[in-house]
Amino acid sequence: MSILGQFAKLTLATTSRPSLIISAASIHLSSVLPRSIRDVHKSGTKFMEGEVNSFEGTHGAQSYVAVNTQNVNRYLPLPETMKKEFNGIPFNELPILYIKATKNNTLIHATDAKYKAIMYTSCRLEGFKNARKKTSIAGQTTGIAAGQRLLRRGINTIRVCVKGIGPGRMTAVQGLASAGVNVVSITDRTPLCELGPRPRKIRRV
């Protein structure tokens, strides 16, 4: 007779046989061992303890910050903002500086109001090679170099468009400000896919 059959007999025993019911407490059932890889996959994938994904995006992007949205409308641009002058230049005629922050590099290029190229630089052009390109220090250095190139061309007031969530995302803007460039506005143009491509399969261990 199997163990489950004995267990059923013991639990269905009457109160006239209390000794058998007490002995049922000593029976332990082990977990069922998987018969194939398919059974293991159905039960769930286990990850190794040392397998931790490192985050290389903007500092604080994985945490939530409470923001007061009560007076947020007064910070949004209005139609009158496009004609407002900054340093004697209307907003819609200011040069635009585009920052593309990928996980391995930070690319910066500037155009005028009619989208004609003014200058271009990147972490690689500033002397950072291989893995050093994806550091926040490289992004800040690239921002400082871009600001100095703009000042040499007589441009000291710009608006910034940021794309991507790489490590040089905001450090490049800080580098521009430290170089002496007046940043009027910062626009985030990072694309956000609703569904996106199919994710990679989970690694089996």
Q: What is the 3-state secondary structure (H, E, C) of the chain?
A: CCHHHHHHHHHCCCCCCHHHHHHHHHCCCCCCCCCCHHHHHHHCCCCCCCCCCCCCCCCCCCCCCCCCCCCHHHHCCCHHHHHCEECCEEHHHCCEEEEEECCCCEEEEEECCCCCEEEEEECCCCCCCHHHHHCHHHHHHHHHHHHHHHHHCCCCEEEEEEECCCCCCCHHHHHHHHHCCEEEEEEECCCCCCCCCCCCCCCCC
Identify whether residues 96 and 18 lie together within a single domain: no
Would residue 41 count as lying in a domain?
A: no
Q: Provide the domain count of the chain.
A: 2
Identify whether residues 6 and 95 lie together within a single domain: no
The residue segments making up the domain with residue 150 are 84-188
Span 194-199, average pLDDT: 84
CATH number at residue 150: 3.30.420.80
Q: What is the pLDDT of residues 8-27, one digit of tens each?
A: 566 555 444 544 444 445 55
Q: Which of 95, 94, 107, 92 is closest to 162 using CA atoms?
A: 107
In the numeric block, the tokens 């921002």 are attached to 143
The predicted model scores a pTM of 0.62
Identify whether residues 92 and 22 lie together within a single domain: no
Identify whether residues 90 and 166 lie together within a single domain: yes
Q: What is the pLDDT of residues 59-114, one digit of tens each?
A: 555 666 666 667 767 777 778 888 888 988 999 899 999 999 999 999 999 999 99
Residue 12's pLDDT is 57
* Average pLDDT score over the chain: 79
Would residue 194 count as lying in a domain?
A: no
